[in-house]
Amino acid sequence: NKVDMVDDEELLELVEMEVRDLLSEYDFPGDDIPVIAGSALKALEGDAEYEGKILELMEAVDNYIPTPERDSDKPFMMPVEDVFSITGRGTVATGRVERGQIKVGEEVEIIGLT
């Protein structure tokens, strides 16, 4: 990100090489991991070159990161990680769905809280 703030192409290449070396040092496939240099700000401003980089990034994510298997046929379970009190909304619980599915407006049971 923020490559629009760097004028020196060699500096960008050097940073990429160092990141790849660091990844390899920690047993990640540094030479094989896709690196897409772009600018989120320029993409948001409508610069076609950087919009293309966002699309390239999303394609790399789709191709490189495997889709996790979901236990969607099992009962819904979402461990609560945090709870917030939001004015005008009430109490909001956040977490990550571990299995199952839920629809908007569907009733849930909260267990384990006293």
Taking only the tens of pLDDT, the chain with its 114 residues reads 999 999 999 999 999 999 999 999 999 999 999 999 999 999 999 999 999 999 999 999 999 999 888 888 999 999 999 999 999 989 998 999 999 999 999 998 888 766
* pLDDT, position 109: 86
* pLDDT, position 113: 64
> Residue 9 sits in which domain range?
3-64
DSSP letter for each residue of the chain: --GGG---HHHHHHHHHHHHHHHHHTTS-TTTS------HHHHHTT-HHHHHHHHHHHHHHHHHSPPPP--TTSPPB--EEEEEEETTTEEEEEE---BS---TT------S--
Do 60 and 7 fall within a single domain?
yes
Do 78 and 31 fall within a single domain?
no
Query: Given 25, 43, 64, which residue is the final one in a domain?
Result: 64
